Amino acid sequence: MDIVYIRDLQVDTIIGIYDWERQVRQTISLDLEMAADIRRAAQTDDIQYALNYKAVSKRLIAHLENRDAQLVEALAEEVATIVREEFNVPWVRLRLSKPGALRGARDVGLIIERGEKPA
């Protein structure tokens, strides 16, 4: 199994359970690992056979910038679903971080895996 990854994709969005969090955008950060078979893209040197990380990031930014979720859990599930269903990714691992959300911690968030890992 090969992996195409995106690290520290930062997006400003409305996220949080407190009143003040409904008023201001906060930055979240995504680390994505997406299962892919890169061999055809490698052999052809053609982007049409690649999992295009630019296209993935554009789609996720567009989605997240228009959300106003309360929980990071909600965003994480949406991101995993978009990646799997719209980009035909069989397995994804996502770390979604909310920097500065907890005093004393650099960031908080969650890590999820969805789908089946190809052999």
Ligand X SMILES: Nc1nc2c(c(=O)[nH]1)N=C([C@H](O)[C@@H](O)CO)CN2
Name the site residues for ligand X (rule: CB under 6 A). Answer: 16-18, 21, 71-73, 98, 101
CB 98 within 8 A of CB 13: no
When the beta carbons of 38 and 112 are compared against ligand X, the nearer one is 112
Shortest distance in whole angstroms from residue 16 CB to ligand X: 3
Token pair belonging to 105: 């911690």
Q: What is the DSSP letter of 61?
A: H
Determine which one of 54, 58, 98, 117 is catalytic: 98
Rg of the Cα atoms in the chain = 15
When the beta carbons of 47 and 108 are compared against ligand X, the nearer one is 108
Q: What is the DSSP letter of 32?
A: E
CB 98 within 8 A of CB 83: no
Shortest distance in whole angstroms from residue 79 CB to ligand X: 14
Shortest distance in whole angstroms from residue 114 CB to ligand X: 17
When the beta carbons of 103 and 119 are compared against ligand X, the nearer one is 103
Q: Is 54 labeled as catalytic in the residue annotation?
A: no
Token pair belonging to 61: 């930014």
Q: Which residues are catalytic?
A: 98
